[in-house]
Amino acid sequence: MALMTTQQAADRIGVSVRHVQRLVAGGDLTAIGPDRVDAASVAQWVAQRQGSRVRAWEEPTAWAAVALLEGQPAPWLGQPQRSRLRSTLAGATAAELVVRARNRAAVHRFAAHPRALDRLARAVITSGAAKDIAGLTATDRLDGYVDDAVLQRLVTQYRLDPDPGGNATLRATGMPIDVVAELAGGRRRVLAGWDLAGSADARERSAGHRLLERAVERLRG
């Protein structure tokens, strides 16, 4: 496990040491000891924000953005909200979209026994990013969405250990899981694009940006 001092993490993110300490306290970064931060958690934090200071949408709006780019109606928002959101999407870059929609789920990363991955996969909505896109996806890791209410049960049942560089990523959301399942299976692979675009891996990030850019182009018509 690669480590950084809190000062190095602050320099990497572009904030103060005190801000890094707040991120650790809030669970956004993983502390290892009094003055060490897991480097993988810093890389993930940076990838999710991609240098942008734009404000993230609330969870229902973020999922509505996924739906609209998939060509779905997003009925949980009112018509005026959907209209404004559609206009925002049409003018956004892929990097902005990654930051805007990061609140669609709380991302938790764990180390899981390899034999547990197949069983765990049956208990989650597999992320579109876990499906093969241009040969990018490894078969020895899991990435999926779960209901907020079942996350802890899965952690206990499968003996998952928190690990920013682990092989199991669980994205906990309050959105009804049937809606998530429908969007994860969308033909335009918009959710896959968002998941990949928030990766710390440059190739996955690039693939995700391309998927989001294509979806925006379709929306513009």
Convert the pLDDT of each residue in 9-28 to its tens digit: 788 777 788 878 887 777 77
Q: Are residues 207 and 117 in the same domain?
A: yes
Q: Are residues 109 and 193 in the same domain?
A: yes
Q: Are residues 122 and 214 in the same domain?
A: yes
How is the chain split among helix, strand and coil, in percent rounded to 5? 55, 15, 35
- For residue 156, tell me if it sits in a domain: yes
Q: Are residues 43 and 149 in the same domain?
A: no
- For residue 44, tell me if it sits in a domain: yes
State yes or no: pLDDT of 56 exceeds 70.
yes
Q: Are residues 14 and 117 in the same domain?
A: no
pLDDT in tens, 117-172: 889 989 999 876 655 554 444 567 889 999 999 999 999 999 999 887 889 999 99
- For residue 85, tell me if it sits in a domain: no
Q: Are residues 26 and 106 in the same domain?
A: no
Q: Are residues 110 and 39 in the same domain?
A: no
- For residue 133, tell me if it sits in a domain: yes
- For residue 26, tell me if it sits in a domain: yes
Domain that holds residue 12: 3-49
Tokens 């693939």 belong to: 207
Task: Give the torsion sign (CA, 221, 61, 190, 79).
Answer: negative
Number of independent structural domains in the chain: 2
- For residue 78, tell me if it sits in a domain: no
Q: Are residues 116 and 7 in the same domain?
A: no
- For residue 66, tell me if it sits in a domain: no
| Cα 181 to Cα 183: distance, rounded to the nearest angstrom | 6
Q: Are residues 120 and 203 in the same domain?
A: yes
Q: Is the pTM of this model over 0.85?
A: no
Q: Are residues 187 and 107 in the same domain?
A: yes
- For residue 167, tell me if it sits in a domain: yes
What is the structure's pLDDT at 129?
A: 61
